[in-house]
Amino acid sequence: MQKIILITLLLCGAVATAQFGKNCELRQFKINIANPGIEYEMALGVNTTFDVKAGFQVALDPSEPELYRDLGFFPAIAGQYRYYYNFEKRQRNRRQVYGNSANYVAPAAAVFFPGSRTIDNVVIDNIISYAGLVTGLQRSYDSGFNFSIDVGAAYYMGSVNEGFYPVANVSIGWIISEKRWCVGR
């Protein structure tokens, strides 16, 4: 199930016919320091992008008996199909839209590769994944500094405590490579 979700998200980004619009950056390559790793975001339409991250990420571990007490730090691959809904309002208010600086909603999926670990004297070596919906905001500055925050809910799979749990993602870093196509630039 986890592989199907990840493959579907990746194929959506690869197969989509890009109608490069006036609002979204065509592509951005970012370094994330909050959750060490790399991130790539590419435009799919006028207000939509596909964002994929690879690196280490803090996450809930549904294998834990007390799920919210202990967070894990796992290697992960995560993807979001973002719809930015307030580019026009930001432009009317003379706010910057560079680097896809806007608010968004997105279906999101992630796969965590926890490796072998022991919880309550039981070896846990399964892959954990989630699929759900998040809402968030992203802001980028001319210096290249970039941050995004999103929250939502997702269905976690791959453990004994499968079910719906909260999701929160924080990305802080720098845009290191970009292809711009923004209104007002």
What whole-number distance in Å separates Cα of residue 166 and Cα of residue 96? Answer: 30
> What value does the mean pLDDT of the chain take?
80
Q: Can you spell out the DSSP letters for 30-61?
A: EEETTTTEEEEEEE-SSSEEEEEEEEEEEEE-
Residue 13, helix vs strand vs coil: helix
As beta bridge partners, residue 133 has 107, 153
Tens-digit pLDDT profile for residues 21-54: 456 778 899 999 988 999 999 988 888 999 999 9
The more confidently predicted of residues 59 and 144 is: 144
The pLDDT assigned to 88 comes to 81
Q: Which two tokens stand for residue 47?
A: 């207000």
Q: Does domain 2-179 have CATH number 1.10.10?
A: no
Q: Where are the beta strands (DSSP E) in the chain?
A: 27-32, 37-43, 48-60, 71-84, 102-112, 117-119, 122-124, 128-140, 145-157, 163-179
Beta bridge partners of 71: 60
pLDDT at 25: 77
pLDDT of 78 higher than 50:
yes
User: What is the mean predicted confidence (pLDDT) over 135-145?
Assistant: 91
Q: So what's the pLDDT on residue 16?
A: 44
Higher pLDDT, 65 or 37: 37
pLDDT band, very low/low/confident/very high, at 8 (cuts 50, 70, 90): low
Instruction: Take residue 27 and report the two structure tokens written for it.
Output: 């592509």
Domain boundaries, the chain: 2-179
| CA proximity to 138, closest of 24, 57, 46 | 24
| Residue from 27, 25, 78, 28 nearest 53 by CA | 78
Q: In terms of Cα–Cα distance, which of 106, 127, 129 is closest to 115? A: 127
pLDDT of residue 98: 78
**Cα torsion 107, 52, 50, 24: sign:** positive
How many angstroms separate the CA atoms of 164 and 115, rounded? 23
What pLDDT is stored for residue 113 in this prediction?
Answer: 83
Q: Residue 142: what pLDDT?
A: 85
The answer on pLDDT for 77 being more than 60 is yes
pLDDT value at 169 more than 60: yes
